[in-house]
Amino acid sequence: MRRPEWKTIIIYGVLPVLLLATLIAMAVVSQIRGHDPMPSHPAATVSEAPAVGRTPADVCRIDAPAMLEQWRAGTLDGADMAPGALVAERTDPMPVMDGTWSAGLLAHGDGTVTCSVLTGGDQPFTVGLRHEHGRWMVALIRVPGSERP
């Protein structure tokens, strides 16, 4: 019987062990870091921090749910809306807005972000924000399932 070469030993013996060790290490690190869940209903406050220094994802994670909460409560007024904003009428019945809220970035441009906000229903709300007058203002709120706001 022929003795295996050193290349064969490395390919079939050492590399699978290293791959398995790498996967286990990645799983352990992801468990240690955990995730940062959003509160079930974020505070209805709007950030006045400038666009500089905040990532578009942070704006979506913090400001979009807050604006949507103001819309849901009926307290979103003209001071919070950018000129020409397209804001959906509050529908009857309202879409599901219970459970844990989460928001993610769909797109961003020069001073604008478009966010997806999941509120516990089957489909997310779409919230567009524009940075004007030193703060983020609502430019769009689209109700799930509707063709337009």
Per-residue pLDDT of the chain (149 residues; tens, 9 = 90+): 677 788 888 888 888 888 899 989 888 887 776 654 444 444 444 444 444 568 899 999 999 999 998 888 888 888 888 888 888 877 777 777 777 888 999 999 988 999 999 988 888 889 999 998 888 999 999 888 776 65
Residue 51 lies in a domain: no
Facing residues of 112 across strands? 109, 130
Same domain, 29 and 61: no
Same domain, 137 and 104: yes
> pTM score, two decimals?
0.62
pLDDT for the residue 61: 92
Q: Tally Cβ neighbours within 10 Å of residue 63.
A: 26
Same domain, 29 and 81: no
pLDDT for the residue 34: 62
Same domain, 30 and 61: no
pLDDT for the residue 86: 84
Same domain, 62 and 25: no
Same domain, 13 and 69: no
pLDDT for the residue 1: 67
Same domain, 27 and 60: no
pLDDT for the residue 53: 64
Residue 128 lies in a domain: yes
Note whether 121 and 69 are within 8 A (CB): no
Domain that holds residue 27: 1-34
Residue 148 lies in a domain: no
Provide the 8-state DSSP code for 111: T
Residue 147 lies in a domain: no
Q: How many domains does the chain have?
A: 2
pLDDT for the residue 43: 46
Same domain, 83 and 137: yes
Residue 46 lies in a domain: no
pLDDT for the residue 35: 53
